Structure 1
Amino acid sequence: MTAQQLRSGQYRRVLYDVYVSASLDDSVHVRCDAAALILPQTAVFCGVTAARLYGVPVPDGDLRVHAAVPATASTVPRIKQLKVHSYSIPAGQVCNLHGCRVIGPERLFLELAAAVPRIDLIIAGDHMLRRQVSTRERLNAFLRDCHRRRGVRKARLAMPHLEPRSDSPPETRLRMLIVDAGLPRPVANQDVFNDWGVWLARPDLSYPAVKIAIEYEGLHHQQDHGQYSRDIERDGRMIDDGWLVIRVNKDGLFRTPRQVVNRIRKALNAHRPPR
């Protein structure tokens, strides 16, 4: 194939000297397949790249392909879109995922602790537990054996906050907003029944003892007429049963979080059970 053919509209460059058909959409899998062609066979995808291969949500800022190679590797490419880390990963901490060599999920959680903000680490951990990428027991066991490793203290402190019942990153952010404000930790996605055992709803977050439900309303809740109607009916069932429903949207979560916290705090004080 000539250079002129590669520069034509039929192909696009993924990495230096690596091209694909222009009809092939960009993805982390395509970028990793391209990187594997120029990396040593001992290379292991790590960090945020490994997270994306697992489907674990991480910030979008760093789209480079991250890979680790042994310090003894003779040829290591130096490419702008490729970040090569020079360290060895024990064989027991390497998995084969979609044909790619990636670090194991427990090692991944530790690496994310050193690379992303605390709330993003908890979001990633929630997802890993929810999707059974790992378990709380395996994560704790791995971190217990780590000593003087970058990010290990942050990872250990995040563990008690992980919630396997969390459905989405905004739910995790809302839960941690409440917890970090010093309020009691709400229950995540627990079914609500009335006194006759009839199912009413499964609120995102709730305080069942005082009948307070907290719902995060994403854009799809507002733009999908069917979903919006179901949300209204759900809230109505809970209100009829004596529940207070607090709805939070993206603006409340990111622009006016203090108002959200104050609203929840006032509700808890007003619905405090009698002694």
Structure 2
Amino acid sequence: MDFDPRSPFRRRTALEAGVSAKSLRGPAFRQVLPGAYVAATTTLTPLVRARAALLPYDDVAWASHATAARVYDLPIPTIAEEHVSVARAGLRRRHRGVRAHVGGEAPTRYVDGVRVSAPEMLFVEMAGVLGLVDLVVLGDAMVRRRLVTPEELVRFCSEVRHKAVAAARRAASYVRAKVDSPMETRLRMLIVLAGLPEPVVNLEVRDERGEVIRKYDLAYPAVRVAVEYNGKVHVLTLEAWEADLGRRDDIDDSGWRLLPVIGSGIYRDPLSTLRRVHRVLLARGLPGTPLRLDDTWRAHFPGHADAA
């Protein structure tokens, strides 16, 4: 029989192929999951782990939830175990390290030969696991990877039946195109959940010839205000620092107000970020800017004293 140790296999399969139990315990092999092995030289990628999780199911299951997200290489928090789904409860199997869900007739697709939840279905599945902001991060990343469009996501969530569909519908309404990173999503959600007008994502500023001369992460073009997330690259290299200085000179000349935000302004002290943005929008007279911030953001950015 064909036996390729580079792909996950069961102990019984190895024994039938002539691999001794002693060899299986030796340095030539490693366990991917309890009862699932692979050659020690094989890199344990999400795809390899998904194949191992599906071994007991003989093609009646597919990778779903966090496992599917990892196969698609999408940004999610660390989630324990591998996750698979089956059409009905009677098809579930006990397998240590793997959590089995009942997915009904959920749409699926194949990624490198592994059956996984379709992106729009994965979004709904993760609505039962993630909070609002992390779910929007996931949706924005799906759109960025061209796995789905915001319109397709909203439409699917409006039609599918699932216990987490209410959370999925809410999150889908916030998913946008052209978002470059998870931190840009978090910054936008912080602003919107505080009741401030939603900024334009990745606004392109053009010169009189129509050429793009500047691009802002989040912008309010009506009052020339831009809010941008600055990662460590902006402060760790002299070249990036000098480029930022030159860019800010150009921005000042054109009348734009740039509000840079770093990680601590989202995770540790989001209130100070909101106050800065709020103050500038009020000063510049942006229509629709409330006099007071909404407290909805506090439940979704709880890592600081003011959120209590």
Question: C-alpha separation between the residues in 2 aligned to 1:8 and 1:74?
Answer: 33
For the Cα contact (< 8 Å) 1:190–1:202, is it kept in 2? yes
1:202-217 equivalences under 5 Å are 202-217=215-230
Q: How does 1:105-120 map to 2 (within 5 A)?
A: 105-120=119-134
TM-score normalised according to structure 1 size: 0.89
- Of the three residues 143, 149, 171, the one matched with 2:184 is 171
Write the distance in 1 (CA, Å) between the matches of 2:31 and 2:237.
38
**Residue 150 (structure 1) shift:** 1.0
**What residue ranges of structure 2 are gaps of 5+ in the alignment?**
1-18, 288-308
1:65 paired to 2:82: yes
> Does residue 1:41 correspond to 2:59, yes or no?
yes
- Would you say the 8 A contact 2:54–2:84 is kept in 1? no
| CA deviation after TM superposition for structure 1 residue 13, in Å | 1.2
- Work out the CA distance in 2 between the residues paired with 1:160 and 1:15: 37
Q: Which residue of 2 aligns with 1:10?
A: 28
Q: Which residue of 2 aligns with 1:221?
A: 234
Paired with 2:152 and 2:86, the residues of 1 have a C-alpha distance of 25
Structure 1: distance between partners of 2:253 and 2:52: 57
Is the 8 Å Cα contact of residues 94 and 104 (structure 1) preserved in structure 2? yes
Judge conservation of contact 2:150–2:176 (CA < 8 Å) in 1.
no
> SS in structure 2 opposite 1:124?
helix
Change (3 A) 1:226 1:11: farther
| Structure 2 Cα separation of the partners of residues 96 and 110 of structure 1 | 18
* Residue matched to 1:19: 37
Q: 1:83-232, aligned counterparts within 5 Å?
A: 83-90=99-106, 93-147=107-161, 149-194=162-207, 199-232=212-245
CA apart distance, 1:154: 1.3
Structure 2 CA distance for aligned equivalents of residues 9 and 150 of structure 1: 45
Contact kept, 8 Å, 1:187 with 1:207, in 2: the verdict is yes
Unaligned runs of 5+ in 1: none
TM-score, structure 2 normalization? 0.80
Q: Measure how far apart 1:184 and its partner are.
A: 0.8
Distance 1:273 1:88 in 2: 48
Counterpart among 217, 221, 234 of residue 247 in structure 2: 234
Q: Distance in 2 between matches of 1:273 and 1:45?
A: 47
Summarize the Cα distance change of 1:135–1:50 in structure 2 as closer, same or farther, 3 Å threshold: same
Identity of aligned residues (%): 35
Contact 1:193–1:201 (CA<8 Å) still a contact in 2?
yes
Q: Give the total of aligned pairs.
A: 269
Question: What is the rounded CA distance, in whole Å, between the counterparts of 1:238 and 1:260 in structure 2?
Answer: 20
Change (3 A) 1:130 1:219: same
Q: Which amino acid aligns with 1:88?
A: G
User: What secondary structure does 1:264 align onto?
Assistant: helix
Does residue 1:53 correspond to 2:66, yes or no? no
Residue 299 of structure 2 corresponds to none
Residues 246 and 87 from structure 1, CA distance in 2 versus in 1: closer, same or farther, beyond 3 angstroms? closer
SS in 2 for 1:137: helix
On the 8 A contact 1:40/1:73 being kept in 2, the answer is no
Q: Distance in 1 between matches of 2:232 and 2:22?
A: 45
Deviation at 1:188, TM superposition (A): 1.0
CA-CA distance at 1:88 after TM superposition: 2.9
Q: Would the alpha carbon gap of residues 220 and 22 (structure 1) be closer, same or farther in structure 2, given more than 3 Å must change?
A: farther
Structure-2 change in CA distance of 1:106 and 1:196 (3 Å): closer
Q: What residue identity is the alignment partner of 1:86?
A: V
Mapped partners of 1:176, 1:225: distance in 2: 31
Matched-pair contact (CA < 8 Å) for 1:211–1:242: yes
